[in-house]
Amino acid sequence: MAYRVHILQTGAAFVAGADESLLEAAERAAVKLPHECTFGGCGTCRIKLESGAVRYDEFPMALTPEEAAEGYALACQARAESDLCISVPSSRQVFPEPRQLAATVHRIDAYTDDIIHLTLALPDGGLDYVPGQYMNVLLPDGETRSFSMASVPSDGLVDFHVRRIPGGRYTDLWLGQAQPGAALTIEAPLGVFSYHEEDWRPLIMVATGTGIAPIKAILESLLDKEDCPPVTLYWGMRTQADLYLQDEIAGWAGRLYEFNFVPVLSRADASWQGRRGHVQDAVAQDHDDLSEHAIYLCGAPAMIQDAKHMLAGRGASLDYIYADSFT
């Protein structure tokens, strides 16, 4: 059985078999759909069904029941059950084409016991990317590791925040011993997580752990901009010692329009005077009505799932929730 899939905005069409994903069918027909992980974990391939029905062999992690009920689907997992008309999220953003580059370690030091601050030097004027995007480090055995850029594009230097995995071949063994000048090959820029300037809504940014990195790059790109909407940043960490960017973030207060920073700790000691618990709970506690906000989520899949569910319950529109999910 095969069905016709029509893309509303572009008029492009392709044929999808009942046993292949919409993404596989689109790629076979050379129709581009945004995607990253291809296993239902990141949400990048989210589309909206204008008409028709899809099914899943297994309901994907990066889709909430609320999203499915509103007609959203994940193209990498959804299989057509009828002819479909879909819309693909549009943004004014144009993303540079990814390419492979030789990079060298410019600086490497520790933010905390388990978070490394890595600065790479890139040749020929550096890397053109949109704040929010990420790179893949290509390892000699063909594997890759992904890290979001944590700074705005500048002359040849790019910052990353790398969580060390104890015993991990790359983050612990290689990076743990790397010195300035060490060479590595990267593929970048990748991903579609980015600021949607066209939304014109107050921003709520929610990060856990090193999910702060792409959020930092986005917010740095908004510093001193007169048309920046009000921003509230929630950052979930375990302890006070984990808040490695606290001073730098506090320094944005005079440079972002109406900036509010809310660190939320899940394992703070008795001396902590600030917010406690899960970061998504703090957002929900602070807002009865999120129907006029744009929300950016960056962190572990479980946080993003829970946050989407909870914030949709506060009226947040799924059209204005943008997520970057990573493990």
Question: Which stretches of the chain bind ligand FES, using CB under 6 A?
Answer: 35-38, 40-45, 62, 74, 76
Please say which residue, 78 or 188, places its beta carbon nearer to ligand FES: 78
Question: Which CB atom, from 245 or from 323, has the smaller least distance to ligand FES?
Answer: 323
Name the minimum Å distance from CB 290 to ligand FES.
23
**Do 10 and 47 meet the contact criterion of CB atoms below 8 Å apart?**
no
Q: Which is nearer to ligand FES, 65 or 176 (CB)?
A: 65
Furthest-apart CA pair in the chain: how many Å? Answer: 63
Looking at the Cβ atoms of 41 and 153, the one nearer to ligand FES is: 41
- Can you tell me the distance from the alpha carbon of 156 to that of 172, in angstroms, rounded to the nearest whole number? 25
Of 73, 327, 87, nearest in space to 209 by CA: 327
Q: Which of 239, 257, 300, 253 is nearest to 113 (CA)?
A: 239
How many CB atoms lie under 10 A from the CB of residue 250?
A: 10
**Cβ 37 to ligand FES, closest distance in Å?**
4
- For residues 33 and 152, which CB has a smaller minimum distance to ligand FES in the complex? 33
Specify the residue, 46 or 216, whose C-beta has the smaller distance to ligand FES. 46
Query: How far is it, in rounded angstroms, from Cα 249 to Cα 231?
Result: 12
CB of 163 to ligand FES, least distance (A): 20
Q: In this complex, which beta carbon is closest to ligand FES, that of residue 26 or of residue 264?
A: 26
Q: Phi/psi of residue 116, each to 5°?
A: -100, 135
DSSP state of 269: -
Residue 100 C-beta: closest distance to ligand FES, Å: 21
Q: What is the DSSP string of 129-165?
A: --TT-EEEEEPTTS-EEEEE--S---SSEEEEEEE--
- Give the sheet arrangement for strand 134-138, strand by strand: 144-148, 134-138, 183-190, 99-110, 115-121, 157-163
Cβ atoms within 10 Å of 327's Cβ, excluding its own: 10
CB of 53 to ligand FES, least distance (A): 18
Q: Produce one character per residue of 120-135: b if its CB has 16 or more CB atoms within 10 Å, e if not.
A: bbbeeebbebbbbbbb
Minimum CB–partner distance for residue 323 and ligand FES (Å): 10
Minimum CB distance to ligand FES smaller for 78 or for 256: 78
Least CB distance to ligand FES at residue 97 (A): 19
Least gap, CB of 44 to ligand FES (angstroms): 5
Q: What is d(CA 266, CA 235) in angstroms, rounded to the nearest whole number?
A: 11
